[in-house]
Chain A
């Protein structure tokens, strides 16, 4: 059938987009179901997950610490600049701690790892898809979920929160350090400020966020990887797609979790 010149049909385009989105939702849900099925084979995924967790942890520690250290320092310096003469100095301690623990630690770590881990997962699984390695696994009666998906997701769910803890600690420490360099602020002031408005839930909130971000960073790229087609170009497309979608999802989850969990 020769392509007939058609006028732009809004209803049809919207219909196609909705159907496409529903198909993604459907296939993504299947992947999540596969994940839980795959969990039933710990003998296969536990050793692989440990390797993967080690890779993620060691590979990302430096960049995560670097970024959170700078975030802590800049937050402290800017707070100092804004507060001079208006607010007591100890508020800098409050602001640094709260900004880092509630927002910057988890979000910046999440976004960095979306690039680092997400790109790797999508490229690895995508390459395995286009070189028929996933078909080969299936042909051997082995489950791609327990060999490929579960180890990666579990490693992420464990390691991302760990990295966020490191990021929180280093971010606050660097904020403290920088504040002391440039402001008339004592250690006692900073510590008082940090504790004055601190609720124990804040630390949990940081971890809850990290956990949800870990889900986005691992599941989305694996999904993109498994659904790769058309060779090297397809792998490239999956990889960029994975990083962008995971990052956007992190920002959405960030907003959503703030709405749901931080009741005023």
Chain B
């Protein structure tokens, strides 16, 4: 379970999060929506302890993340997969070595045969060709890098997955493949996930619940039906704008 209570964070004068309450139950997938620059990535980084809150608490699996000792935080991070918005691949390493670093178990990591299998399997899951594993990040397209980032996050078989816009910048076919993958991991392995996204349609397809972040607060958290039924102007504005965008090409 992931639980943020009254989390506030500012950078200098700029208040980014201003009392965020956000929960994700075990096994659940929550889509985090919100306009660009509202702090979705900042919120996600709080969950894995890359950013510490100025106020409030961040609890993951019963652990108080900002107050964890180095080793405890490390153990927790082994159980969380994080997909960075821009991939954040290590550009001095090829795809195989990049993805392999996601294997948190030391014995499995040292086992080259296991690593090869696991990396190849995950590369297939994100719909990349097996030859890709010999390439370097600079030789990949943006969408390919993003998918390598997803492979790196899932290869360690984490209990939690945090996706920062996993489908933005992908073509519709690959976006659907990633959405399906998120759903599959959720259903088959019971992974608890948070997916930051701008794609409301995709969010509806994948997520059990949705949350809308706007102006430093979670404006609304609930199911697809609750969102569609909401008459909060912020929610309406967000849904309508995105549905127009999403349905235009099909019309």
> Are the CB atoms of A135 and B88 closer together than 8 Å?
yes
The interface on chain A, measured as residues whose beta carbon lies within 8 A of the other chain's beta carbons, has a size of: 12
Chain B hits for A142, CB < 8 A: 101
Bound Cα distance A156, B18 (Å):
45
The count of chain B contact residues (Cβ–Cβ below 8 Å) is 20
Q: How far is the CA of A141 from the CA of B50 in the complex (A)?
A: 11
* CB of A176, distance to nearest CB on chain B (Å): 43
- Chain A residue contacts of B104, Cβ below 8 A: 140-141
Binds A, one of B74-82, B211-219, B240-248: B74-82
Docked-complex contact A139 and B48, CB < 8 angstroms = yes
A132 touches B88 (CB 8 A): yes
Residue A78 at the chain B interface, CB threshold 8 Å: no
A interface: dominant SS: helix
A131 in contact with B78 given A138-B50, A140-B102, A142-B101 (CB within 8 Å): no
Residue contact B88 to A131, C-beta cutoff 8 Å: yes
- Contact residues of B with A, CB < 8 Å? 45, 48, 50, 74-75, 77-78, 80, 82, 84, 86, 88-91, 101-102, 104, 152, 156
> What is the 8 Å Cβ interface bit string for chain A, positions 139-152, against chain B (1 contact, 0 not)?
11110000000000
Inter-subunit contact A132/B77 (CB<8 Å) = no
Within 88-147 of A, Cβ neighbours of B (below 8 Å) are at 128, 131-133, 135-142
Contact of B90 among A133, A138, A139, A141 (CB under 8 A): A133
Give me 11 A-to-B residue pairs in the complex whose CB atoms sit less than 8 angstroms apart, sorted by A's number: A131-B91, A132-B84, A133-B89, A136-B82, A136-B84, A136-B88, A139-B84, A140-B104, A141-B75, A141-B78, A141-B104
> Are A135 and B75 within 8 A (Cβ)?
no
Q: Which residues of A contact B48 (CB under 8 A)?
A: 139
Residues on A with C-beta less than 8 A from B82 are 136, 139-140
New A-B pairs, 9, CB < 8 Å, besides A131-B91, A141-B104 = A133-B89, A133-B90, A135-B45, A135-B84, A136-B82, A139-B48, A139-B77, A140-B82, A140-B102
Q: Which residues of A contact B86 (CB under 8 A)?
A: 131-132
Q: Which A residue sits closest to B76, measured CB to CB?
A: A141
